[in-house]
Amino acid sequence: MSSNATPLPATPDFDSWPIEHTITDVHHASRTLTLVWSDGRRSHYHSIWLRENAADDSTINPATRERILDLSRLSEWPVIDSAHLDDAGALSVTFAPEQIELRFHPGWLRAHDYSHEQSNDTPFASAVPWRGADHGEPFSLDASGWLERESDPQEVDPLLEEALGAVMRDGIVRLRGLPTREQSLDTIAHRIGIPRPTNFGALFDVRSKPDPDSNAYTAIALPPHVDLPTREYQPGLQLLHCLKNDTSGGSAVMLDGFAVAERMRQDYPTQFETLTRVKWCFANTARSSDYVWHAPLIALDDAGNCSEIRTADFLRGPLMVPFDEVEAAYAALMVFQRLLGEPEFAMRFNYLPGDLVIFDNRRLLHGRDAFDPGQEGGSRWLRGCYLERDEVRSRLRMLARARRRARVEAE
């Protein structure tokens, strides 16, 4: 393309959109428009959708890329007066009654072709339920030297992209070979997003201590559970970084709550339905705080798929449901509890210093076997923190954006 050629228009975001297929033909009616692409696809768009998603300064603030257009202030419904392909290969549309001509980037239009059932979760991997009998250990990556490399949130990071993809798919990933410095976890967490502080602090240490305020701070076994089901929004992600472990025992126990729920849906459908409906009380009534929330043990999304597991037997408060539902609720709960105890679901592994496990706290149940510090004063020290699922999704979008920008710059 010569220096005098018309540039492609901006897009209503900060992303870069490669043009893998060009527009070959344009057809329109007053309220709809059809694009024909070089691979034969026909994409359909509504006039009002195009008008709202333009990238000019009457529609968005070019500095923030946030919308300033208020559709309700247009004098009439925006319709297409004319449309054509310009010499840059962009779509040019004139809208009435404004008589404003707006241009659209072909790569952006193709990526947002809602007439072809684009997944709302792109670029995220779908959750794949698993059983411990099939996964002896978490999917693991060698992270030696990773923290020593500079991190730019707008640059490609293959290790982090693969790790977070595994979290979306399996609900868990293990990074190995990380330094055992106390500040390492905070650095790692901020490479993903913003940590979520709780009553345990922004960072917390899982190790035995005098006068513990949680069973986690002892050497006893912990049953499978999720953390902080007592909160309206229980943390979506948990990170545990092993700084020291020279004890005997104490294997980590992980179960895929989605796999357990699906087994229950298949074999115990009535009890499964009960656990998706009955709201249990989850309570953490400590000396200085009183967190209580009521919610079902199993949450489903709009498609009926499991989206959240909320359970911790040691944090259940009194069940408050209609009298006639109490026995059915407890019967369903006990079915779920028995399934959690079936060996086929549990994954067991040991922490080595420098290991970091990242897992979905609304999907995976975690626990541990009891451990013995031994006669020589051995210790087990995990440093932990929470983030939200949103941080993972945001980071994956940024990583995908970085890859697209690299492709566009290479073209």
pLDDT tens digits, 217-252: 666 778 899 999 999 999 999 999 999 988 777 789
With CA atoms as reference, report the closest residue to 166 among 123, 125, 121, 119. 125
- How many CB atoms are closer than 10 A to CB 99? 8
pLDDT at 159 exceeding the cut of 50: yes
C-alpha pair distances (Å), 241 with each of 233, 306, 385? 23, 28, 9
Its pTM stands at 0.90
User: Two tokens at 211?
Assistant: 């006068």
pLDDT in tens, 283-298: 998 888 899 999 999 9
With CA atoms as reference, report the closest residue to 167 among 127, 204, 131. 127
pLDDT at residue 214, as a whole number: 66
Q: Indicate the range of 116-125, 335-344, 385-394 predicted with least confidence.
A: 116-125
Structural domains of the chain in order of their starting residue, each with its CATH number:
23-118 (3.30.2020.30), 140-398 (3.60.130.10)
Whether residue 253 contacts residue 348, with contact meaning beta carbons closer than 8 Å, is answered with: yes
Length of the chain: 411
Q: Indicate the range of 20-29, 111-120, 170-179 predicted with least confidence.
A: 111-120
How far is Cα of residue 31 from the mean position of the Cα atoms in its chain?
36
Mean pLDDT, rounded, for 189-205? 94
pLDDT at residue 187, as a whole number: 96
User: Two tokens at 70?
Assistant: 């208020």
